[in-house]
């Protein structure tokens, strides 16, 4: 296994597990059965938990990927951050729609649904980060 893949798996595992922990705490304790109604949208507790955990994971994930995993990338930091944000935004939307689909259409438990969507997002994220965000010129 290439060292970059090992580092990605290790750092990604740390980021994923801590992000899931933040999601779980937010879902069960912070936003427990709370629906936030805005003029344009009502946020379910699992969606609010996703937004909070994604903010946390974005920060930790970028720092780990930049300084531990993809250290050989010669792109400027601001370019990496912008590309990471684009990749993150795509993955967040993918996560949101998959989570919403599994919870609302299949009536699955929100945490189990989040675990399954995480697996899909991890695969998409690895390739977008390796070949787009932190690519080597």
* Tens-place pLDDT, residues 64-116: 999 999 888 888 999 999 999 999 999 999 999 999 999 999 999 999 999 99
pLDDT of residue 4: 84
C-alpha span between 110 and 82 (Å, rounded): 30
CB within 8 A of 124, min separation 6: which ones?
90, 91, 94
- Give, for 42, the enclosing helix (H) or strand (E): strand 42-43
Contact in structure between 95 and 121 (CB atoms under 8 Å): yes
C-alpha span between 137 and 133 (Å, rounded): 11
pLDDT in tens, 40-73: 888 889 999 999 999 999 999 999 999 999 888 8
């Amino acid at each position: 296994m290439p060292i970059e893949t090992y580092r990605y798996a290790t750092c990604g595992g740390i980021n994923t597990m801590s992000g899931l922990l933040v999601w779980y705490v937010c879902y069960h304790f912070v936003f427990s059965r709370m629906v936030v109604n805005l003029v344009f949208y009502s946020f379910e507790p699992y969606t609010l938990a996703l937004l909070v955990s994604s903010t946390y994971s974005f920060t930790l994930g970028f720092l780990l990927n930049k300084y531990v995993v993809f250290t050989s990338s010669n792109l400027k930091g601001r370019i990496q951050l912008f590309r990471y944000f684009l990749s993150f935004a795509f993955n967040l939307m993918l996560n949101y729609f998959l989570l919403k689909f599994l919870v609302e259409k299949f009536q699955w438990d929100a945490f189990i649904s989040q675990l399954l969507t995480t697996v899909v997002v991890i695969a998409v994220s690895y390739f977008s980060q390796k070949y787009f965000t932190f690519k080597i010129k």
